[in-house]
Structure 1
Amino acid sequence: MSSEAEVGRIWRTSRRVIDLSKPVLMGILNVTPDSFSDGGRYFDPEMAVRRLEELANEGADIIDVGGESTRPGSLPVSEEEELSRVLPVIEAAAALDVPVSIDTTKSAVAEAALDAGAEIINDISGLRFDSQLAHSAACSGAGLVLMHIRGQPRTMQDDIHYDDLVGEIVGELGESVERALSAGCEPECLVVDPGIGFGKTAEQNLVLINRLGRITALGYPVLIGPSRKSFIGKMLGLEVPDRLEASVAACVVALLRGARIFRVHDVRPTRRALDMAELIANRSSGGELS
């Protein structure tokens, strides 16, 4: 059982306890032909394993492996196809001793991935697409990311009206947390994600990052994933390959607003920026400088 003091300071997975006293970087590995940023680059298993090793060497604390694109307008793939994409990568990760997260909304995929060595489930649906997924997480003791989304990936940009953007997202994330707890998940296994880029306009994404403090008030660690997303392109007129600096800036602001876990494509530069930002933010007045 968890103590109230532990919730928010650690993240318990099925294999270890992750310390959240420093920023935690989740490196993205999309084993898909159609993800918005790197779709197709790592679709070949050999290339995917090579990228896995690169992410680990760059300092990723967690590697998030996904076999189904969730970009706006994307269509689902079968469980069998998704597993054929992700299992070779997850099995290869065992030799690196880096925590692996499976990015899926399907309980069958999650369970097979956990059996292969994954220890975190990253569910973009917040337990709305597959009611069995909460049970899968509870039985395994896996870490569980609960993301906010409205609709399905193919339709999520059709439902972007909010009367109270942050308040409604907090309420809907709270419902996801309750579903997880009711299924038997331990509180210290849970992380919430406001779903940057999922059913939000570019302007709404900016507001959401700036007001993350209301998300942290739920009492669970917050994961944020702004990396290379379209809101950056829309606000700054940048194509995907040119969004590195803006992605890092969004992560730094999110850190200062309370986020602890950062899902990113570019691990090394984000690590350096977040570590420096945290060093500065944690310094109090130290007297005269010499």
Structure 2
Amino acid sequence: MVLKLRSISFDDNQPLVMAIVNRTPDSFYDQGSTYAEEAAWDRVAEVVEQGADIVDIGGVKAGYGAAVSAEEEIDRVAGFVARVRGAYPQLAISVDTWRASVARAVLAEGADLINDAWGGHDPGLVDVVAEFGAAVVCTHAGGLSPRTDPHRQEYDDVMASMLSSVLGYADRARAAGVAWESIIIDPAHDFAKNTFHSLETTRRLGEMVATGYPVLVSLSNKDFIGETLGRETGERLPGTLAATAISAWLGARIYRAHNVRETRDVIDMSWSIAGRRPPYRAIRGLS
């Protein structure tokens, strides 16, 4: 299926890297290194050079931290989206927000995709996305409120719960007027899940791919990787890339990542082994 992010389209044989650009002072991974606008601007230039297909700009840390009002979130991201749009007209721009008011502000400045990591917490968000002809990521957040960590979450069948949640969200988006080809689903590793849940989610990812919707995975340096391997945040790249390779083999379409170049190589190699992508060149034994 062709994936349509507003005016930008991608064929179904294109796995996509979504680079993370945090306009936050307290992000778990980079500790605010791209909070300042010029640092974030340099990060965009870097990831574009490394081959990112989408940049995902966020103005609020996913986990606990200082409260951030909608007005402050807009101040952090809307003008920056406009600047990126002006400099990179062919780059797909995503904004990580759960708020309809923020979605409206950034879509007006040229964003293409709203990455709602909190499972439709704001019911008006899909109406805004539809109004602008944009795209949306429908995630599984287990009914938790934004910026809430899981505590003893239980599922009879974690994949069945995720499918019910994300497909229900997708149905609401379509009912609001969001195009089928502009809807992405995301199991949301770590969100409303313990490590065992996230490992099972990865193992069974093909069940989400089978829905026909493009699947986004956000694996980069997540806690389930750290807990599985006994690694701190800055030591999780090998584990992240292993989970990425499995997800790529199973058919995930979009990979939200801190390490763009390494992620691209792992995806491309996995897709080539799976027979979905030809080698960059093949002269060994032929010339």
What TM-score, normalized by structure 1, do the two folds share?
0.91
Any idea what the Cα deviations from partners look like across 1:78-102, whole Å, max 9, x if unmatched? 1111011112321221212311001
> Deviation of residue 76 (structure 1)?
4.5
Unaligned runs of 5+ in 1: 1-8
Task: Write out per-residue CA displacement over residues 175-201 of structure 1, whole angstroms, 9 at most, x where no aligned residue.
Answer: 111111111111111000001110111
Asked if 1:101 corresponds to 2:102, the answer is: no
Question: Which of the numbers 203, 206, 211 marks the counterpart of 2:204?
Answer: 211
Which residue does 2:69 correspond to in 1? Answer: 78
After superposition, where does 1:261-280 map in structure 2 within 5 Å?
A: 261-280=254-273
In structure 1, what is the equivalent of residue 281 of structure 2?
A: none
SS of corresponding position for 1:158: coil
Structure 1 position 132, deviation (Å): 1.1
**CA apart distance, 1:215:** 1.1
Matched ranges for 1:152-231 at <5 A: 152-158=145-151, 160-231=153-224
Q: 2:237 maps to which residue?
A: 244
| Aligned-residue offset at 1:155 | 3.0
The 1-side partners of 2:249 and 2:46 are apart by 28
Residues 14 and 213 (structure 1), Cα distance of their counterparts in 2 relative to 1, 3 Å cut = same
- Structure-2 separation of matches of 1:283 and 1:213: 15
**Cα distance in 2 for residues equivalent to 1:243 and 1:189:** 32
After superposition, give the CA deviation of every residue in 1:116-151 in whole Å (9 maximum; x if it has no partner): 111111111222x21111101111111111111021
Aligned-CA RMSD value: 1.7
1:144, 1:191 → 2: CA distance? 6
1:63 equivalenced with 2:51 (yes/no) = no
Unaligned runs of 5+ in 2: 278-283
Q: After the TM superposition, list the runs of 4 or more consecutive aligned residues in structure 1 that deviate by more than 4 angstroms.
A: none
Distance in 2 separating the partners of 1:39 and 1:243: 16
- Provide the TM-score with structure 2 as the length reference: 0.92
Query: What percent of counterpart residues are identical?
Result: 37
> How far apart, CA to CA, are the structure 2 residues paired with 1:140 and 1:115?
8
Question: Which residue of the partner structure matches residue 124 of structure 1?
Answer: 117
For 1:10, which of 2, 13, 26 is the aligned residue? 2
State how many pairs are aligned: 276
**Aligned counterpart, 1:4:** none
Q: 2:224 aligned with 1:260, yes or no?
A: no
Q: Which amino acid aligns with 2:190?
A: G
Q: Is the 8 A contact 1:75 1:153 kept in 2?
A: no
| Aligned-partner Cα distance in 1 for 2:227–2:12 | 32
Residue 43 (str. 1) matches residue 35 (str. 2): yes
